Structure 1
């Protein structure tokens, strides 16, 4: 067996620290907030194992957990999302796990269920459908990325004998579009599809939209009659600095009725067994430590910065757009040279920047200036390559 020699890792940590700071200055393309600090929790990290194994609603045999706070986190998020008193939920390792839990619960209730989701839904949805061996029907979207409810209704009508699991999105990955959830529920009602579940993947936009609603943008939370479950990300708007999420059901899922495991003394109701209790501490600090009004101010700040970014890009001739609620500004794919410096993801239709709380107007100005400079250099090169005209 090869031995591992002890190393002095100080230089590595220093180098990574500098690298992460430098990279963070140009990372404007992915939705991760970094503006909330957790220095006051440092003493709870060293030498402390916190394992929230099993259900958050019973402690189990162990004592090294934060389940009491986890239940409070669930209730705080549930209140923001207008969940009824019978709510149930837990802290996940991300929005994808929450969606998987909702799909599995639907399959347990309705073994013949078909999943319906838009072409703009998260890329992991196809993998989840394959993993759970559930058929997936992909629905078209409009130009802004919202699900085409008429197309959805047509596909539902073709399979009225099958149960339906509709995954709506509140904040698509590229344009931050919000599906019209009330219209989706109404379509199911018109077709008399009663064996159904409507789950909302609200990873980015769920909390901001519930905290500061925008006229004309439909609700996408548990206050909409007919919505079964909603999942939000913690590392996006709540700035937990590590991937996590919170899954909320309006009523307890089938998993909530599971019996206790003798070894752990708690029910196995989550997708994973062991879960980080430290993540719950960060979520609790982000929610209870700041309070609702502070988060509403963060939402308004992000939207103001996004509106500024949209206007600045249009001023230099970029066809920039944003939904009225969105932190996201999307535009045609920029020159490749720009994305070598700036983290700006793109597909074949558009690219985007996302104005999370740490993104400033100065960051936007630097991005716009780099784009404008690059276009100017390209024009100069094209002009230099044109052949000289012959004298008359």
Structure 2
């Protein structure tokens, strides 16, 4: 095969990035291992314990590694407090599945309350798991409307979802308040921090297990964590919640499994550990500061050119760029995407996005704008 992967030098819309060199090397070494069979692949299982413990530190969840995946008791008790998933979609589906199983004993049709800013994976989860999805609006700041959440929850609510780093505007919902609402109806609180989880520790926003009554969380090392794809993460506050998912595995050396997939490459696990050991916390702090500065600089540059810009609270900029210019920039090779509601163009300042790259983008934007202006006849011509 002669095909080569796409370069990242014009990618401004993706929430994936170039993996850290240590993460790339670790992924290659553990490519053929299977943490889904921890009794056989013991080194990969031990690395998953390490990944869960490190993710727990990042998100304010104290995790006893004796309870981590691959270290459950022979009778299946204890269970894991998290595992390395294929990404945020799997983690969100599993969180909804936990909530459904827990609620099924008290309702015939459990529901999950999500903001309109929630990732599309929750629609997949609702379809697969046959739960009702109650979508509530966001306020003018693009965060969930708390009054709408309070009006939506009832005795059938299995989970309330908050977003910590939304994919379209980079916003962080008021997680402590959502926890109070979820607790009031005996529902679980799930936080989707798949993208924001590696940036938020260096801000003053309240978003994690240590700030609120969070029960489950998605956080992806293969996004801002600089691990190789696929390497997501699902964390839960207590092992009994993941026990809701456990199934017997009679022909494996381990006796039960709570993951969604069976066979999983150890590449993602090893890559996540390697990246976090290299970068947590100082490397991630430096990365966040650099990415946030780039986002704020880009926002100022676009605003000075007359575009309407949603100010970045995390390293993500949304700006109202006309369709003809959006399409022209894509024709120049820039990988861009739009938000779903008002069709702004979104720019995600991932670690591979440099100031020089943004300057090159703006040069192309200015050139295309200038060419278009010259093509418009003057009045009276």
TM-score, normalization by structure 2: 0.87
Aligned partner of 1:213 in structure 2 is 203
Aligned partner of 1:95 in structure 2 is 88
* Partner Cα separation in structure 2 for residue 241 and residue 42 of structure 1: 7
Cα drift, residue 365 of structure 1: 1.0
Cα drift, residue 307 of structure 1: 1.0
- Report SS of the residue matched to 2:251: coil
* Partner Cα separation in structure 1 for residue 199 and residue 47 of structure 2: 22
* Partner Cα separation in structure 2 for residue 40 and residue 184 of structure 1: 40
Tell me whether 117-126 or 33-42 shows the greater mean CA deviation: 33-42
Native 8 Å contact 2:53 2:63 kept in 1: no
Aligned partner of 1:333 in structure 2 is 321
Aligned partner of 1:265 in structure 2 is 253
Cα drift, residue 143 of structure 1: 3.0
Matched, 1:241 2:228: yes
Matched, 1:181 2:164: no
Cα drift, residue 144 of structure 1: 3.5
Cα drift, residue 43 of structure 1: 6.7
Indicate how the Cα distance of structure 1 residues 102 and 188 shifts in structure 2: closer, same or farther if over 3 A, else same.
closer
- Report SS of the residue matched to 1:383: coil
Native 8 Å contact 2:93 2:121 kept in 1: no
Aligned partner of 1:30 in structure 2 is 14
- Report SS of the residue matched to 2:310: coil
User: Which consecutive residues of structure 2, in runs of 5 or more, have no partner in the other structure?
Assistant: 68-80
* Partner Cα separation in structure 1 for residue 26 and residue 58 of structure 2: 25
- Report SS of the residue matched to 2:177: helix
Cα drift, residue 84 of structure 1: 3.3
* Partner Cα separation in structure 2 for residue 213 and residue 42 of structure 1: 30
Aligned partner of 2:78 in structure 1 is none
Please list, as runs of the form range in 1=range in 2, the aligned pairs for 1:220-299 lying within 5 A after superposition. 220-256=207-243, 258=246, 260-266=248-254, 267-299=256-288
Native 8 Å contact 1:51 1:65 kept in 2: no
Matched, 1:365 2:365: no
User: When the two structures are aligned, how many residues end up with a matched partner?
Assistant: 353
Native 8 Å contact 2:13 2:335 kept in 1: yes
Cα drift, residue 182 of structure 1: 1.0
TM-score, normalization by structure 1: 0.84
Matched, 1:132 2:129: yes
Cα drift, residue 116 of structure 1: 0.4
* Partner Cα separation in structure 2 for residue 279 and residue 296 of structure 1: 22
Indicate how the Cα distance of structure 1 residues 339 and 142 shifts in structure 2: closer, same or farther if over 3 A, else same.
farther
* Partner Cα separation in structure 2 for residue 377 and residue 174 of structure 1: 30
Cα displacement string for residues 248-289 of structure 1 (whole angstroms, at most 9, x for unaligned residues): 111114443746522112211101111111111111110112
2:139 is aligned, of 142, 146, 150, to: 142
Native 8 Å contact 1:51 1:64 kept in 2: no
CA RMSD of aligned residues (A): 2.1
Cα drift, residue 153 of structure 1: 0.8
Aligned partner of 2:72 in structure 1 is none
